[in-house]
Every structure is written in C-alpha cells, then in structure tokens.
A and B are shown apart, each in its own frame.
Chain A
Amino acid sequence: MTHGAVMPFCKGCGHSNILKKLNDALGLLQLDPHDVCLVTDIGCIGLADALFDKVHTVHTTHGRSTGFATGIAVADKVLASGKLKTIVLIGDGGSMIGLLHIVNAALMNVDVTVIVANNFLFGMTGGQTSSLTPEHFNTITSPFGSMNPSLDICQIADASKAGFIARKTATDKDLTETISEAITFNGFAIVEVLELCTEHGTKRNEIKGNMLAKMAEDEGHEIGVIKNSHARPEFSKKYETDVHSHKGDIKPHKYISPQFNHDLRSPNEIIISGSAGERVQSTAAMFTEAALMCGLHVTQKNDNPVTQGSGFSLSEVIISPQEINFTGVSSADYVVVVSENGLKEIQGQDIFNRINEKTIFIIDETLTIEKKGLNLVVLPLRRLCGSDKAAVGAFDYVIRKFEPFPHEPFKQLLAKRFGEYGKIFKEEFYNLF
C-alpha cells in the first residue's frame, strides 16, 4: 500500500481495516509486489486499487472479478512463471452476482484468494439489500427488515470443494494471519470478512462491530477458519496429470494427397436421409473423403433433431470438379432414403422443390413414396446391408452404378472401417450390379 495512503472510505467503515490487514499480510509474506495481482470488483471495496502502488491492480466489472482472476491465474500457472498470487477483493453484492465465478474457481481449485468484504448491503449505491443481508436487517430497500435469510457463501464454497474457507470479522486480531494463510494456500481460498457500513448499516440497525460474529451465528453461519485442507491438487498440477500428460493420445490431423483420377464434369448433388445412429452422416463423410481422394471439391452439410441421437439424420453432399460456392443442394442429382424417419423428414422438408426431372431417388424396399413421376430405384438396402449399414450400401451403390468417381477410394475407406470389402454386406448385394 502507498505509504501514508488516505483511505477513501467513511469513518469507521470496515473496508479500511480489511485493506490494512491485507497490506500487513502482503508485508508478512514478503512477496515481490510484481508477483501479486489484486483484482477488485465494483463497489466501495473496489476503490482499493488506488491505494496499492506496487502490486498489479486490475479493477473489473461487477461480480466478474473472480472470473478475470481465474484467467490470470490459469495463464500464469500453466503458461507463464507460475509465481503470481492473485487476490480478489469483492463485496457481498458482487459475490452474489458473480457467484458462479466463485463456485467455478473453487471447483477448478485455481490459485486465487477471494476476500469477500461483507457489510450486508450495497454501500456505494445507497445501501440496498444484498443476498448476503441477514434476515430482518434494515436497509434502504428493506425498510422493515430483509425478508430472506442471508446466503452462507462459505457453505457454498465448501460445497464447491474449496480447500481454504474462513469467516472472520474486520476487527479480529488475527485477520492478518488468516489472510496470509489464505494467500499462501496453493489453490482456491476464500475469506469472508464481516464488517459494518457506517453510512448505511449502523444508521438503520442497532449494531456494533462486536455483534457481527453473533449475528452470523444467529443466521447459522460458522465463524473462524472453517476449512484448511490440501486434499485437492491446485489446478495446474491437476491439468498436468489429467490433460497435459495425455497429449500424446491426441490424433494428429490427416491430410489427403489425391491418388485417383475422376472424370466428373459438373457438380453432383446428393441428399441422403435416414435415422439417427444408422451411420448416415458418417457414411456421407466417407463418401466426401473418397471424392477428395480423387481431387474433387466437396461440401457436406448435416441436419438432425437437436437431441442428435433420435429421429432423422440427413446429409447434403456436393461433389464438384470446380470450386463450390453455394453449398446448398438446389437441384439434387440423387436423393437417397434409407429409413422411415428419413422419409418423413424429406417429405417434411421442401425436398421435392429441390429436385429436377433427372433426379434419381434411391429408396429402401420397405418404403413407399406417394409422389408420382420420380425416377425410383428401390433397393433391399436394409435387408442386405443391415439397418446400420443401409446408408453405406446406398453410397456404395451410387458410386458403382453411376460412377461419379472411381470406386477404389471408397472401397479402401470401407475396408479400413469395416474390414474386408467383400464381407461387409450380404453376398446378394454385390450381385446387384
């Protein structure tokens, strides 16, 4: 803290005491000021920045201080020196609007110390009720006493598996020690400090500093150092063992250098529709990959219900010798339908507006399309390929029958995925040609 700094707070305000104790704690710990970052929230406690002229100060938005601090701490511990001590100063109001940042920082166990300066109300804006205002406590917006019990933020921290949790009052003799312990703690620590707002709190309530602990206890809130346990590793240690050490398992991307020729002269547009879980989209992806192995340009668009694992599954594929601009299928060359769900979907969508007189409809033998005048090819796909490979069979059929590109690359991909090509489908299927 700047030597001789004048506190910007009202006479008797607990904030002055908290900041003095924090300053004492930093002195006690003999931390290099460049290795300390104070992250302050909105409200009177957020005026602290100007008082600390050596350590880094980051004054944030309301409630979000712990969120910013989490980013700073993770980046420091995982990607930088790892020496930084990140300390959040937040009020009772901020701690509720930013509760999920506190909860998640505790769950992550990032090396952040959160000091909640709890004076039971929003002071800077005129003394309104906060979620940490005790029941029956009078504020400007609860003139007859606050209706709700106050939130026990230490219990929330406990439920969020925080390692260090303390609830103190601003006048506690050992507050410096408790704050020091919290800062030293390698992982998430929270210290709630009960204090008085002399402008708005004491005027409306019969209350003195020495009554704070009792008030908390009356609310059922524990006082003192509630938890000090290093049972959980700090975030960066956990990241090292749980993620970083597995990075060798991540498969590198594969690239394709086209090995096959094609003689496709204009784009082919294909719509395939079937049921979720029946490899519609993944087979479409194999088809596009095979096309890519021939040096074709491709696009693939998938559609399915938001639940993903149920109902229809649809892919729109374009393969083209030229660059593809518009990625929609506007005049399909092939419409492939392999299941009832798939049929329902194409009938529901405007697919009949996206075909032409040459469009070939390939449908499973179990399905009937009412619409007249279609170039229908009815195949026993589900019977000969199985329901899970009807889409695979359909694409295989399209490639072999209509030869948009050589069959070989698709065959290779199928063999890689399902084993020997000649044994993927029932023998009868291979004889369809």
Chain B
Amino acid sequence: MIFIAAAKTKRKSFFIQTILSNFVKLVLHYYYGITMNSQNQKLALRSGNQMTAEGAIKAGCKFFAGYPITPASGIYKGLIDLLPLNNGIAISSPDEISALAYCVGASMRGVKAMTATSGPGWALMIETVQYALITETPVVISVVQRLGPCTGGATQGAQGDILITEFATSGGYTIPVLYPSTAKECYELTIEAFNWAEKYRTPVVLLSDKEIGMTTESVDYNKLKISAPEHRHLISENDADFSEWKMYGFDSPGMIAKFAPVGSKVKVTATGSAHNTKGSLKKNDPETLAVLKHLEDKIRAHKDEMSLVKEDHEEGADTLIISFGITARTMKDSVANLRKQGCKVSSLTIYCMFPVPEKAILKAAIGCKNIFIAEENFSGQYRMIIAPLLKNYNVYGINKLGTMITPNEITERIMKL
C-alpha cells in the first residue's frame, strides 16, 4: 500500500517514481490481477452498435440501408459515417421492408450488404429474409432486441426474439444466428456473420440486445480477434468449371455454388419461387425439391465448423449454466460468486445460436446433473430448443422479463437447488 501511495503522490523524482510505479504494477498485477497502463493498449469507449458498424467495415461491407429503430439506430448512424470513408455507401430507406430489399438488391449486384433493426422491424423483414434465403443471396441483418411483443418497450432490453429470428421461414429453414455478448464480440462476430453469409450464400442474423447495443464500454482494439474477411466466390466465364456451373447447382449436401452478380457476363436467373438448379420455375419437379432441401442441407453440412461457444469447465462440477448475449455476462459474475462459495459449477456461453451447437452443448454437459439456461425472456425460448438434447439431465430455466437478470438472481436460483 505504501508503494501505491507513493505512486499516487507523484512527488518523487522521475527515476524513483518509475521504479516504484513499475514495482506497484507488478504487485498489483500479481496480487490483484490489475494490469496498469500497458503501452500497447489502444482503447476507446464504444457501444456494441458502434462495434458492429466497425466490424462490418472490417468484414468488407460496402452497402447499408437503414431505417431508425431503438435500440439498433447506432449501427445505422455508425455506417452512415463509416461507409463513405471506406468506398461504400449507406442510405436511408422509407421502411424496414425497403431497407432489406435494398440490401438484397445490392448484394445481388455483388457487394456485401447489411441492415440493422429490432423486433418490430424484423417482423416486416421476414418476407425479404426468405427471399434472400431461397435466392441464396448473402446478407447480414443485425437484430438488436428490445422488449416485445409488438412495439413493446423501445428502451428496455430483452432476449425475446430468439425464436422469431430463427423460425422466420415457411418450411423451417435454418437461418444462422450469431449472438455476441460484449462490444468487442460485436466487432468480431459481425465479421463472422459476413463470412458465413458469403461462405454459405445465406442471410445471417447478428442478434444482440439493447444492453449490448447501447451500453458503451471500454474496448481494447489491440485485443480484437479479427478473422480474415471471406471474399465472395464469383463465377466467371473463364473459369474451368463454368460449363458445369449453375446458379443453384450442387453435387453434395455441403456444396455452395459460386455466385454470379447481376451485371456480370454470366446471366443471372434469380427467383423467390421454387426453382431448379438453373433458377427456372418447376413445379413438383424432383430437381426443384432437391434444391429446396439443399437450402437446409448446405447449412447442416457445415454445422460443426459453425459451432461457436466458450466453455468454462470446472472439474467435478455437477451444475452447468448455459447462457448467451447480455445474460452470459451476468452468468460469468455468478459463476465467480458460486465458485467463491465453494460451488462447483461450469458454464457455457453460446455465440452461434443456430445452427444449434449440439455437440458442444452435450460435451459441456458431460459429468453434470443439473443444467440451467439463463435468458431474459419469460418462456425460456432457447431452453425450448435445446431441452430435447438434454433428456438425461435436469433442465431448469432462469428467466426474467423487463430488466437484466442479475448475478445474484442466478446465484440464488442455483443455491436453492
């Protein structure tokens, strides 16, 4: 403590101060886990929404169309400022349907595109999301959740759009859904979302919530884990495989056909109607049905590589807590509290909500008896999804409506068992 005081007063000579402050840093770091003033920190105060916008730029996004809605408007504003500086364009649209239609159109022309909205806007976008899905057009939609249903609470957080974002297609196709829990992860997973959209030619939802989107927090840019941006795989008439190429062709469940942008030398035939591999309307045709099935197969085939989770395993734990988004942060604090109290507990943060990281969940559950799923909605939406996987376990929900679940609420619920 003497050293701290000495460092604080700053009255010593420069030389002594340097030695002392370095010693203080060492002591603090060693005993308290506090690292001070690392020279290679590049810090900024950023909201999750701002980091999503910046992540989009890093991912190569060139087009954004937005319609204002709390709590997602920060992404719109972020990209209005950032895109012109990065050889892109951001435009305002007259509604959410237009916003996504503009994005899908831009993507069809060959550029990476994104929009952002919240529950009420997503409701309007559902038709167009399906269009992107069936035409296999890459696009990223950030859904920053707020309290529903309907207009709900514009400035209140929630995790109540898990089911409506995923189950938004007639036919029940898997829309990949990523869910960051910090501003830093907003950046990282936005890049992932764009990469998946390109790799798998699909719409991808980047789910977040009011608390992550609008809370500003310290971000160290030097600690960002940046995936290399995936470029769109384009077909050209000079390609060796051009003669066999079809807009929606595949020869295996996991195959994704190269993309032909509108305006290129390769004719595009795109349609939202059920179509064969060439994009022609064919009713009740085996090839058309195979194309419809392939839309799902191509995602399932890549499920394992899309399984993004963070496991915090404790040896001998009989309890596992699963969470995501803002509640995953609460879970972290709660796990630390529980362990301090001698409870053996493991945790699993889900980043890829869909396709469900089944193997990772089952692996994390090994050795446990009780599994708690914590989420800020009253019905336990993700619990409904993963409970069938966990038939051999006692599965409990920790749920809340209207405000964030607190670390104490998780801790108390688990201690009660």
Contact = CB atoms under 8 A, between A and B. Distances in A.
Interface of A: 33-35, 37, 49-50, 53-61, 64, 67-76, 78-81, 83-84, 100-101, 103-104, 108, 239, 243-244, 246-247, 250, 252-263, 265, 285, 288-289, 292, 294-304, 306, 321-322, 324-328, 330, 403, 406
A297 B218 contact: yes
A72 B155 contact: no
Given A299-B215, A300-B215, A34 B267 contact: yes
A326 B330 contact: yes
Contact of B271 (A59, A81, A324): A59
14 contacts: A57-B269, A59-B273, A61-B128, A70-B101, A71-B63, A74-B63, A79-B89, A101-B98, A104-B94, A259-B37, A298-B217, A304-B155, A325-B407, A406-B8
B8 A261 contact: yes
Nearest to B139: A71
Contacts of A403: 8
A19 B326 CA distance: 54
Given A100-B94, A100-B98, A75 B105 contact: yes
Interface stretch (B108-116, B363-371, B383-391): B108-116
Given A33-B267, A288-B216, A295-B41, A71 B104 contact: yes
Contact of B263 (A54, A61, A81, A285): A81
Contact of A295 (B37, B88, B221, B263): B37
A255 B84 contact: no
Contact of B41 (A101, A253, A258, A303): A258
A80 B110 contact: yes
B333 interface: yes
A76 B36 contact: no
A258 B218 contact: no
A414 to B, nearest CB: 17
Q: Which of B81, B106, B155, B211: most chain A Cβ within 10 A?
A: B106
Interface stretch (B42-50, B165-173, B195-203, B290-298): B42-50
A182 to B, nearest CB: 20
Given A71-B109, A78-B89, A60 B131 contact: yes
Contacts of A288: 45, 216, 218
Interface residues of B, number: 83
Interface string B119-160: 000000001100100000000000000000000001100000
A84 B109 contact: yes
Given A59-B270, A71-B102, A326-B406, 13 more contacts: A58-B262, A59-B272, A64-B101, A64-B128, A71-B104, A74-B105, A101-B98, A103-B94, A257-B39, A285-B216, A321-B32, A325-B330, A327-B329
A342 to B, nearest CB: 17
B410 to A, nearest CB: 10
A15 to B, nearest CB: 16
B218 A76 contact: no
B34 A257 contact: no
Contact of B81 (A58, A250, A285, A301): A250
Nearest to B127: A61
B236 interface: no
A327 B45 contact: no
Contact of A54 (B95, B104, B267): B267
Contact of A299 (B70, B108, B128, B217): B217
B155 A303 contact: yes
Q: Which 10 A-B pairs have the closest CB atoms?
A: A71-B105, A67-B101, A71-B102, A75-B106, A75-B109, A59-B271, A325-B329, A68-B105, A72-B105, A71-B106
Nearest to A59: B271
Nearest to B33: A322
Nearest to A294: B37
Given A57-B270, A247-B85, A253 B44 contact: yes
A327 B215 contact: yes
B102 A70 contact: yes
A327 B211 contact: yes
A68 B104 contact: yes
A321 B103 CA distance: 42
